[in-house]
A and B are shown apart, each in its own frame.
Chain A
Amino acid sequence: MTTATDYETVIGLEVHAQLLTRSKMFCGCPTAFGGAPNSQTCPVCQGMPGVLPVINRRAIEFAIRSALALHCTINAGCRFARKHYFYPDMPKNFQISQYEEPLAVEGRLEVAADGTPRRIGIQRLHMEEDVGKLIHEGTLETARASLVDFNRSGIPLMEIVSKPDVRSPEEAAAYLRALRAILLYLGVCDGNMEEGSFRCDANISLRPRGAPDYGVKVEIKNMNSFKNVQRALEFEARRQAKALAAGERIVQETRLWEADKGYTLSMRSKEYAHDYRYFPEPDLVPLKVEQRWVDQLRTTLPELPVARRQRFVSQYGLPAHAAELLTQSRALADYYEAAVREYPKPKIVSNWVLSELLRELPGDDEAAIARCPIPPRNLARLLALIDDGTISGKIAKDVFEKMYRSGEDAETIVKREGLVQVADAGALAAVVDQVLAGNPPAVEDWKKGKKQSLGFLVGQVMKATQGKANPAIVNQILLERLPKQS
């Protein structure tokens, strides 16, 4: 073989999203992040002898809403099942999950990694409970012991499994962004990848382009940001292509992404076939998802990202790219629309939000927007101050920064710092006279027909007024006072 084979990358993604319920999946313990170890547990979520689970209705409703948003078929009946394996973070040594009868199947998500929209199939969406957290004394390999905290145990998770329809690492990242945006819009997940409330594992395989069968797939874990997902998959695609080119066989295994080192590492587990021994959870009765319930939940769905993006283009006349950026997060889109309601010049608001606001904000998620020191109304008022000539656009940017630092509104800052634009022709005429008197060469140039002199002189007036002069008026006065050009 001399010609290099052209490989197609085949990726499937498995997302675990923590649901934003107040209490856990099967007990009343709170779901808050970051409590002291084992301070948010009870006999149920610690799997004590004799305890029984009871399903959290809101968790099911969140999952149904998600399934609707992903155009899934919601099964009329679903059931929980026990998945068995021994691990110390799992208090019962089985996880209550769903197996043969998941909540929903056969959905889709539209993504556009390179501008052309593609549909990625959703294979299934099911509910399960989270496990506890392990802290290793040292690394997993060198630890002599590990510590277990069950606070997270029993927090409701939704598992969303895509079909192997993703064809590139960029598309994988785009899929995850789009999925996260939907969950954020629905308000069912906070999407925080670092805290683990939105987790992703990936299956990746290569096959010669055009081949009908899938290659041997490798599972990648430990990717805690979109960037890492993309990097890990890019690395893994290269690794597999290299191995295949060298005539090696790909081993079906799980590999961990080492973000610091930039490579994936085999977990080296002897591939001792997992035998999860699923069977229907006898402590829970089946769920019958009646059409009425689904219909009622459907009415609670908010406008979703794709629809909102399209509306932003048609209603506000925004370019597609700006509409996309503004609608990635429901909170940001809400912010934008609130500002537009107060200051109905959508393109100007869009420019300010995308350039000035996003530069300052730590993120575009709900928490970041909620903590944003400039409420939409204040942004609108700032923009109105430019329009009515109170401040210049340049000053406005400084005022914006000051508003972000202090949380004060624009008027307060402008007034206190004396930034009000000087538009009084009388006051400006005096400054213009001074400038003309102090710059005879420029006046001479002007007389000789050098038009650039006007710009220079305007600049001198602006400088003398610390930028507060209204440039249009300055221009007008200068033209009145300058001698005729010869």
Chain B
Amino acid sequence: MPTISELGARYRSGEATPTRVVETYFQRIETLDPQVRAYVTLTRESALARAEAAEKRLKAGNPRGPLDGVPLAIKDVICTKGVRTTCSSKILENFVPPYDATVMMRLSAAGAVMLGKTNMDEFAMGSSTENSAFFPTRNPWDLARVPGGSSGGSAAAVAAGLAAGALGSDTGGSIRQPAAFCGTVGVKPTYGRVSRYGLVAFASSLDQIGPFAADVRGAALLLQAIAGHDPLDSTSTDVPVPDYTAALGGGIQGLRVGIPSEYFTEGMDPEVEKAVSTAIEVLKSLGAKTEKVSLPTTNYALAAYYLIAPAEASSNLARYDGVKYGYRAPGGKDLIQMYGRTRAEGFGPEVKRRIMLGTYALSAGYYEAYYGKAQRVRTLVRRDFQQAFERVDVLACPTAPNVAFKLGEKEDPLQMYLCDVFTIPVNLAGLPGLSLPCGFTQSGLPIGLQLIGKPFDESTLLSAAYAFEQATPWHARAPALQ
């Protein structure tokens, strides 16, 4: 399938039209999605209407920009006016938002076409998309394996060619890890770079929306469209948004790349280690200067995250109570019974676990020992990165210690949590991170290289990733789905 920039070029040359392309995508979805199960909701009618409008603009010679008529998949955690937004949870199964998230307003303004909403781990809690209340999504490279998570549906849709690009959300790795597992590019922007207004909150101080695309340029184009200050999000910054595609192709001569030794641990998959080490050699061959750096608090980041994220989640998810929207359990004879049953029946096991953990961490007598401590550790994690970035421009490391695993393979919650050990510190520090394909295992599973940047320096990440992509063949591979 064409990349986003290729699609744009074909639209402008008249070689392709948005309606035909959107139709083609829906045909592919019809054939392939029953295997992959990336989508929870399809929005065919509105997609075709938008495609037609884009087509008119293209014909009239005034397209809205590089995304006009480009078909996208949207993670079902982003509110879409008039289109149900479920977070892959029973409790929001029938929730239809009366408003659009800011990113949706921006994509609409750019002329992009939403094909549908994608599956995810319930409320973005998980690393495999198995925690969806509806069904698991499959990895397009091996249908017996998971696509990663929590934005597994978006990653799988892009990898399987069921959308030209997608939006996901990343709280502890939920864009980068599935991008790695599915062999796509995924970007988690700096905290505050993209508005969270309309993103159903999991952990407010960590969540960011970001793009998936088949190549770096596509990711850059999507980020360009959604980044920037939003008065509706008090945590969104007014740092100017540079032209992300302008930086592509400039090369990485002299780029200082730090290799954090703590990200090459004993337990990791040797094939991952090998591919990432080779990738670092490629960066060197392109003119980058590498140096070892140390992020000593890395080993504690996961523990801190599993206090902060659940604590915020327990608060954010308190609103699902069967009063205003969403599921209400039948038969509760009084309010307390209704609350307890609604939430017991409406939430899945992982969500309940995190609500319990977070409630516990905030409860009287434990706050300082748990939540307070975790926020101090977070400061140490930030300082580690600050010190490293005094010497280097970007960090390069694996996105995940492993590749896509089989469905049902990780039953123990803690084992699942460990999948995010390399992505979580980036969220705690609010930094931008990017994952792109850097090789495949013997069995043909994609491996991801993670690049981590300074706050608001997505440009450097994108240009380094682009240089790497141009020098390697990995992004050109596609899964053999029929």
Does A277 count as interface, using CB distance less than 8 angstroms?
A: yes
Docked CA distance A186–B87 (Å): 46
Question: A47, A55, A279, A284: which contacts B319 (Cβ < 8 A)?
Answer: A47
Q: Establish whether residues A43 and B232, one from each chain, have CB atoms under 8 Å apart when the complex forms.
A: no
B336 → chain A closest CB, angstroms: 8
Interface residues of B in 237-274 (CB under 8 A from A): none
Interface residues of B in 352-384 (CB under 8 A from A): 359, 362-364, 367, 371
Residue numbers in B under 8 Å from A52 (CB-CB): 196-197, 232-235
Per-position contact with A for B181-224: 1 when CB-CB < 8 Å, else 0?
Answer: 00000000000000011111101110000000000000000000
Residue numbers in A under 8 Å from B196 (CB-CB): 52
Q: Establish whether residues B318 and A86, one from each chain, have CB atoms under 8 Å apart when the complex forms.
A: yes
Q: Which chain A residue lies CB-closest to B325? A: A48
Please choose the segment from B33-41, B93-101, B280-288 that sits at the chain A interface, where 4 or more of its residues have CB less than 8 A away.
B93-101
Q: Which chain B residue lies CB-closest to A92? A: B319
6 intermolecular pairs with C-beta atoms under 8 Å apart: A47-B324, A84-B315, A88-B323, A91-B323, A148-B323, A279-B367
Does A205 count as interface, using CB distance less than 8 angstroms?
A: no
Interface residues of B in 303-343 (CB under 8 A from A): 311-312, 314-315, 318-319, 321, 323-325, 335, 339
Q: Establish whether residues B101 and A277, one from each chain, have CB atoms under 8 Å apart when the complex forms.
A: no
In the complex where A48-B325, A275-B363, A279-B315 touch, is A43 in contact with B85 (Cβ < 8 A)? no
Q: Establish whether residues A285 and B199, one from each chain, have CB atoms under 8 Å apart when the complex forms.
A: no
Docked CA distance A53–B204 (Å): 12
Does B473 count as interface, using CB distance less than 8 angstroms?
A: no
Which A residues are within 8 Å of any B CB, using their own CB? 43, 46-55, 82, 84, 86, 88, 91-94, 148, 273, 275, 277-279, 282-285
Q: Which chain B residue lies CB-closest to A89? A: B323
A70 → chain B closest CB, angstroms: 28
Does B408 count as interface, using CB distance less than 8 angstroms?
A: no
What number of B residues sit within 8 Å (CB to CB) of A?
A: 42
In the complex where A50-B201, A54-B231, A54-B232 touch, is A94 in contact with B92 (Cβ < 8 A)? no
Q: Establish whether residues B199 and A50, one from each chain, have CB atoms under 8 Å apart when the complex forms.
A: yes
Q: Which of A49, A55, A275, A284 has the most CB of B within 10 A?
A: A49
Question: B98, B235, B321, B335: which contacts A43 (Cβ < 8 A)?
Answer: B98
Q: Establish whether residues A93 and B198, one from each chain, have CB atoms under 8 Å apart when the complex forms.
A: no
Q: Which chain A residue lies CB-closest to B326? A: A49
Q: Which of B79, B321, B363 has the most CB of A within 10 A?
A: B321
B209 → chain A closest CB, angstroms: 11
- Apart from A50-B97, A53-B234, A284-B235, 4 more pairs, CB < 8 Å: A43-B98, A52-B196, A92-B319, A279-B311
Question: A50, A91, A282: which contacts B101 (Cβ < 8 A)?
Answer: A50
Which B residues are within 8 Å of any A CB, using their own CB? 78-79, 85, 87, 92, 95, 97-99, 101, 196-201, 203-205, 231-235, 311-312, 314-315, 318-319, 321, 323-325, 335, 339, 359, 362-364, 367, 371
Q: Establish whether residues B315 and A275, one from each chain, have CB atoms under 8 Å apart when the complex forms.
A: no
Docked CA distance A282–B87 (Å): 21
Q: Establish whether residues A46 and B204, one from each chain, have CB atoms under 8 Å apart when the complex forms.
A: no
Docked CA distance A43–B201 (Å): 14
Residue numbers in A under 8 Å from B367 (CB-CB): 277-279
Docked CA distance A92–B234 (Å): 18
Question: A48, A94, A148, A283: which contacts B234 (Cβ < 8 A)?
Answer: A283
Residue numbers in A under 8 Å from B363 (CB-CB): 275, 277
Q: Establish whether residues B99 and A282, one from each chain, have CB atoms under 8 Å apart when the complex forms.
A: no
Docked CA distance A375–B323 (Å): 50
Residue numbers in A under 8 Å from B204 (CB-CB): 282-283
Docked CA distance A84–B314 (Å): 10
In the complex where A48-B97, A51-B197 touch, is A82 in contact with B232 (Cβ < 8 A)? no
Residue numbers in A under 8 Å from B311 (CB-CB): 279
Q: Establish whether residues B234 and A284, one from each chain, have CB atoms under 8 Å apart when the complex forms.
A: yes
Docked CA distance A93–B335 (Å): 13
B155 → chain A closest CB, angstroms: 21
Q: Which of B204, B233, B324 has the most CB of A within 10 A?
A: B324
Q: Establish whether residues A49 and B339, one from each chain, have CB atoms under 8 Å apart when the complex forms.
A: no
Q: Which chain A residue lies CB-closest to B230? A: A52
Residue numbers in B under 8 Å from A47 (CB-CB): 319, 324
B122 → chain A closest CB, angstroms: 13
Q: Which chain A residue lies CB-closest to B99? A: A43
B195 → chain A closest CB, angstroms: 9
Q: Establish whether residues B235 and A285, one from each chain, have CB atoms under 8 Å apart when the complex forms.
A: yes
Question: A82, A94, A282: which contacts B205 (Cβ < 8 A)?
Answer: A282
Residue numbers in A under 8 Å from B325 (CB-CB): 48-49
Q: Which chain A residue lies CB-closest to B203? A: A282
In the complex where A54-B231, A84-B315, A283-B204 touch, is A277 in contact with B198 (Cβ < 8 A)? no
Docked CA distance A83–B221 (Å): 40
Residue numbers in A under 8 Å from B97 (CB-CB): 43, 48-50
Q: Establish whether residues B318 and A92, one from each chain, have CB atoms under 8 Å apart when the complex forms.
A: yes
Residue numbers in B under 8 Å from A51 (CB-CB): 197-198
Q: Which chain A residue lies CB-closest to B320? A: A49
Docked CA distance A84–B311 (Å): 12
Q: Establish whether residues B364 and A275, one from each chain, have CB atoms under 8 Å apart when the complex forms.
A: yes
Q: Establish whether residues A277 and B315, one from each chain, have CB atoms under 8 Å apart when the complex forms.
A: yes
Q: Establish whether residues B321 and A86, one from each chain, have CB atoms under 8 Å apart when the complex forms.
A: yes
A133 → chain B closest CB, angstroms: 14
B424 → chain A closest CB, angstroms: 17
Q: Which chain B residue lies CB-closest to A285? A: B234
Residue numbers in A under 8 Å from B362 (CB-CB): 84, 277-279
Docked CA distance A278–B363 (Å): 8
Docked CA distance A205–B124 (Å): 50
Docked CA distance A43–B101 (Å): 11
Residue numbers in B under 8 Å from A53 (CB-CB): 234
Docked CA distance A382–B275 (Å): 97
A108 → chain B closest CB, angstroms: 31
Residue numbers in B under 8 Å from A275 (CB-CB): 363-364
Docked CA distance A94–B319 (Å): 8
Q: Establish whether residues B99 and A283, one from each chain, have CB atoms under 8 Å apart when the complex forms.
A: no
Q: Establish whether residues A94 and B315, one from each chain, have CB atoms under 8 Å apart when the complex forms.
A: yes
Docked CA distance A353–B453 (Å): 72
Docked CA distance A88–B339 (Å): 10
Q: Which chain B residue lies CB-closest to A38? A: B324
A324 → chain B closest CB, angstroms: 44
A112 → chain B closest CB, angstroms: 41
Q: Establish whether residues B318 and A49, one from each chain, have CB atoms under 8 Å apart when the complex forms.
A: no
Q: Establish whether residues A84 and B318, one from each chain, have CB atoms under 8 Å apart when the complex forms.
A: yes
Q: Which chain A residue lies CB-closest to B198? A: A50
